[in-house]
Amino acid sequence: MVATNPQFSHEQIMEMIKLKTHIKKDTECHLWKGSAYRGFPRIYNIHLKNYVWNLSKPKVKRGHHLQNTCDADNCININHLKVIDRSVNWDELWERILKRTEKDGDCIIWTGKKSKKGYGHTTIKCITHLVHRISYMVKLGGKEIPTHINGERALVRHICPKGHNPSCINPDHLILGTYSENSNDRKDNGTHMEGENHPLSKITEEMAQKIKLSLFKKGEVGYRTRQVRADFFGVPLSTVSSIDTGQAWCHLKDKEGDDLNHKKELIQDRVKKKRKIKHDITQEQFTSAGEILYGRVTKTSHNKKVEIEGDCWECNGKREEKTGYSYTCFYGRKKYSHIWSREIYEGRERRPHEITRHLCGNPICIQPTHLKFGNNSENSQDAFLHGSKAAKLSIEDVREIRKSKLSTKELATKYGVHYRSIYCVLTRRSWKMVV
């Protein structure tokens, strides 16, 4: 099968090719007279050389391209085309790279172009690559370097015996690792930019240590505000704040002998232990929750805004001041009582995109037959029916508009609304609940 543009059929494309192709009898070239993109004959987004080739030949693979054997680049004759392999020959590439290197003990140093940090780079097929990554790909036999290791971002690390050497491209001195492992390598090699080695550092490590040890909690002996401490040490207030919050000099130890990085690890472990894994609620648990919840209700018939069968049930539990909704906690889940009531009735948990609608218009009702799961638009339409949301049209007006034979503009003038509101009523984009 040949891929075609969905706008045109195969027959239409072949007719366009015949109309815009001139056959030169001397050389038997099929010269394309139409448009071209970067010298390649095209019809809209269809590459004609590939299209004609794929009609009777195997599909051109990735890394290969078609080249004309004749002198005319705009020739689309299949007999004048041949496939050329453009995939990388790793052996030839490695020999070319070694010509621009020199040995320094066990390390193979790149002598070509380098970045400011000392990493070598070269260009392959108009794309710039880091040479040590190409070296590692040669080590893998031409395979792509994995982007992640156990969910963490991966990169190629240097493990040179004499220490970190960014210009080294020896495949034996390269290994795949994570960013955290690479950061630890920089700390071991002394190339990590922290403390006084950081280019933005304006104070000494001794001064930063004194500022860190001068921090006391409010109420303790020796407590001073940050501004007082900043004036005492003769540094800006921002410097003291960044040291106290751990944004700067976080590797220094505090009075307890711990650095901020160690404290972060302890807090993460503590959170993981306390975190409870939530499981799906079973039908037995729904039944037992229903017995407890419905044992707290009081039946009442007032506060109904829409005629509906059955009395409203009001829960006697705790309520929120702003919304007036009562809430209950079952199995480690704190929810509104009306949500629990509908979930118990249906025997399933409410989905993330669903909203619990009050069909009766009583916001404190938890009668399961007065509730229903829906979406935002349905909940908004309920507000019009209950009268809790202002509307220029009534239910009777909507029914008259849909039965009327007047034009949209005439109806808009009659009911004093915009013509788009009439259009939405007629197309049932609004007032869907009115039959």
pLDDT at residue 276, as a whole number: 47
d(CA 140, CA 134): 10
pLDDT tens-digit map of 182-212:
878 877 776 767 777 777 788 888 898 888 8
Q: Which residues contact 221 (CB under 8 A, 6 or more apart)?
A: none
pLDDT digits (tens, 9 = 90+) for 70-116: 888 888 888 888 888 767 778 888 888 999 999 988 899 999 999 88
Q: Both ends of the chain: CA-CA distance in Å? A: 51
| pLDDT at res. 270 | 57
Nearest CA among 340, 337, 355, 330 for reference residue 279: 330
Long-range interactions of 36-39: CB distance < 8 A, separation 24+: 36/74, 39/73, 39/74
The pLDDT of residue 170: 92
How far apart, in whole angstroms, are the C-alpha atoms of residue 352 and residue 280? 14
Specify the residue for token string 């130890």.
253
pTM, to two decimals: 0.41
Return the pLDDT at 2. 46
- How many residues make up the chain in this entry? 435
Residues of the chain predicted below pLDDT 50: 1-6, 276-277
Distances (CA, A) of 185 to 85, 108, 181: 40, 20, 6
Q: Report the chain's C-alpha Rg in angstroms.
A: 37
pLDDT computed for residue 4 by the predictor: 47
